[in-house]
Amino acid sequence: MTTTQPLLGAPAARLEGRAKVTGEARYAAEYQPPDVGYAWPVPATVAHGTVTAVHTEAALADPAVLAVLSHADAPRLQVAGDPMTDVLQSPRVAHHGQFVALAVATTLEAARAAAEAVRVEYATEPYDVVLTRDHPGLYVPETVNGGFPAVRSRGDFDAEYAGAPVRIDRLYHIPPLHNHPMEPHAATALWDGDELTVYDSCQGASAVQEALAGLFRLDPGQVRVIGEHVGGGFGSKGTPRPHVVLAAMAARVVGRPVKLALPRQQMAAVVGHRAETFQRLRLGAETDGRIRALAHDVVTDTSTGQEFVEQAAVVSRTMYHSPHSRTTHQVVRLDVPTPSWMRAPGECPGMFALESAMDELAQACDVDPVELRIRNEPEFEPDSGHPFSSRHLVDCLREGARRFGWHDRDPRNAVRQEGRLMIGSGVAASTYPVYVSPCQAAAFADPDGGFRVHVNATDIGTGARTVLTQIAADALDVALERVRIRIGASELGRAPVAGGSSGTASWGWPVHQACVELRAAIARHGGSVPAGGLSAFADTTEDVEAGQGYARHAFGAQFAEVQVDVDTGETRVRRLLGVFAAGRILNPRLARSQFIGGMTMGMSMALMEGSTMDPEFGDYAERDLATYHVASNADVPRIEAHWLHEDDPHLNPMGSKGIGEIGIVGTAAAVANAIHHATGIRVRTLPARPDALL
């Protein structure tokens, strides 16, 4: 068979693009089963305490209202110990905005009015919502997000730092950040006897299926989760959130399908956020900039309900040559919403601190920032001592410097001015680990010459559906058009979430295997498909767990040029340029979109994003996209994403590393470093608001 259509490595356009722009593609809240009811949650108006009474009479007076649920009468779940799923199970209020009741009605308007008419009484208790660096409740957890140890030491940091000729000791602060995907969290739930079907906006149907089965005491086979199209998640849909549990619960109680789409104003408290971090970075170096001692100490917070610790110092264990190293995390449980994953948890905030400190070290040593990073390139991964499966950070830095025009840069600070604008440029490195998880897939050959592939992948807007079809067509050696793929449904098999930049590798691996096997089966049939068709099934549990003794990470280099208005302090980014080494790029069109999306989000983090905990009422002041600022089109400058071709045989059959998160890593530091070059003012607290630059 010969192919005429693009396969792996070709810029295939999104297969569902037309369906999306014509409105044909359906999202979780757009399914309209007959007699569907609508639910609207009631958030707690206190930050800590107990619900003592829920007055529902006024709400129930409207005949359109089907039910008002609270802890007093909601179905008892088999609780999982996850505050995001164990909803309405207890009168305890752990944080402001936690859902304490749910109104269900025949119309959305009636549900909303009913929710507003519910009157809740509380016995309040003192609360603590403010993270400080010396909070008395700080403790060292055993592990941090990702399962890493909270503390790691190599060599003798204290002695080597004390004796280092150049020392940098700086504190960086990043506020709480909220994911705010375009599509708010939403679910439509239907029961048929003891069989539950939910259409859910999630990053992985298997995770939701398993959680709902546990909560409602069902066999996983009795729960069907469908998430065909998802409008973004950035980690906030990685595990089940309250909306899907509440929709299923409400549907059971009112005996009809129920739909629940979270109002954006309620999201900040219930779907997770990037926890606030204080990060102290100490670098002890030789006068030539070579690091002798490195310490990265993180102070962060989590909720009383769950210990989630942003692993911001972990990246400093693997990034640079650092023979004497100590990396620590401390956390305090506050009466705040539970933090969770947000694009590149750990690496994104950690690399803001590390890459800012590297810029400060470059200045202190009078070494070019690109050259400083090259001088600190490790031979082996410092933490594990393993060889890198591939590491092309130096090539990314050199290629980026060449494309950006870095070598024309005057290294002096605050010398380039155009009228009221101070101009500067900055660089930062970028990295993200390679993750992969077990997954199942099936491939079918039909007698009519068509192929079908089933894999429970989730396309959160990245183009997963398209690249998986390319992987299948490539393995089958047929044109893309002959392969029809089904994704986004739990009945298609077990699959991991779209997260950790691991989706394409995890889902693509069994797709590749099943298609290779199917092709072999066709060959055994003399190259034709019998009337009954042929099929092949793959499960990569053993393959991915084999382990290979290599340190696997993607790398990149980020360059930024900014202008700062000397009168207003306003910073605008003029140019962003990233060069990435992320294995084989399977679809350049989709990859570019992921890279520049991440870079845009990193720029937004540098200049605009941040949630403010209001100690008076114990919740975030920003509740929507009018108050929580994210970059708009007008803020986005010329962005270029480039990549190096990287052949890495130690990854997966496609040779790909993840690309979903690395784009955000390092961008904020590149922007802050550029601001320093422009103005001489060092931004160590994000976002870099105008008042800090005047």
Binding footprint of ligand MOS on the chain (CB under 6 A) = 203, 233-235, 238, 341-343, 345, 499-500
Give the shortest CB-658-to-ligand MOS separation in angstroms: 9
Amino acid at 137: G
Give the shortest CB-544-to-ligand MOS separation in angstroms: 17
Residues with Cβ within 8 Å of residue 331, at least 6 apart in sequence: 138, 139, 140, 141, 299, 300, 301, 302, 307, 309
Beta carbons within 10 angstroms of residue 581's beta carbon? 27
- For this structure, is 570 an active site residue? no
Give the shortest CB-665-to-ligand MOS separation in angstroms: 12
Give the shortest CB-502-to-ligand MOS separation in angstroms: 8
Among 160, 183, 381, 661, the active-site one is 661
Q: How far is CA 672 from CA 27, 460, 538, 602, in A?
A: 38, 30, 46, 11
Residues in the chain: 694
Comparing CA positions, the residue from 590, 500, 513 lying closest to residue 554 is 500
Give the shortest CB-434-to-ligand MOS separation in angstroms: 13
Environment class of 57 (CB within 10 Å of its CB; exposed 0-12, middle 13-18, buried 19+): exposed
Q: Which residue is nearest to ligand MOS (CB)?
A: 235
Which CB sits closer to ligand MOS, 342 or 641?
A: 342
Comparing CA positions, the residue from 463, 610, 660, 403 lying closest to residue 20 is 463
Comparing CA positions, the residue from 103, 59, 75 lying closest to residue 252 is 75
- Strand, coil or helix: 176: coil
Which CB sits closer to ligand MOS, 343 or 677?
A: 343
Give the shortest CB-94-to-ligand MOS separation in angstroms: 23
CA 67 to chain centre: 35
CA distance 533 to 443: 11
Which CB sits closer to ligand MOS, 106 or 437?
A: 437
CA distance 676 to 120: 51
CA distance 471 to 172: 42
Which parts of 529-682 are beta strand (E)?
534-539, 553-565, 571-581, 613-614, 619-620, 638-643
Which CB sits closer to ligand MOS, 339 or 618?
A: 339
Which CB sits closer to ligand MOS, 506 or 679?
A: 506
Residues with Cβ within 8 Å of residue 431, at least 6 apart in sequence: 315, 318, 319, 347, 351, 393, 553, 554, 555, 556, 662, 665, 666
Which CB sits closer to ligand MOS, 203 or 389?
A: 203
Structure tokens at 476: 């089958």
Give the shortest CB-460-to-ligand MOS separation in angstroms: 8
Give the shortest CB-337-to-ligand MOS separation in angstroms: 16
Comparing CA positions, the residue from 224, 232, 241 lying closest to residue 27 is 232
- Using omega within 30 degrees of 0 as the cis cutoff, is the peptide bond preceding 184 cis? no
Which CB sits closer to ligand MOS, 235 or 382?
A: 235
Which CB sits closer to ligand MOS, 342 or 478?
A: 342
Positions marked catalytic: 661
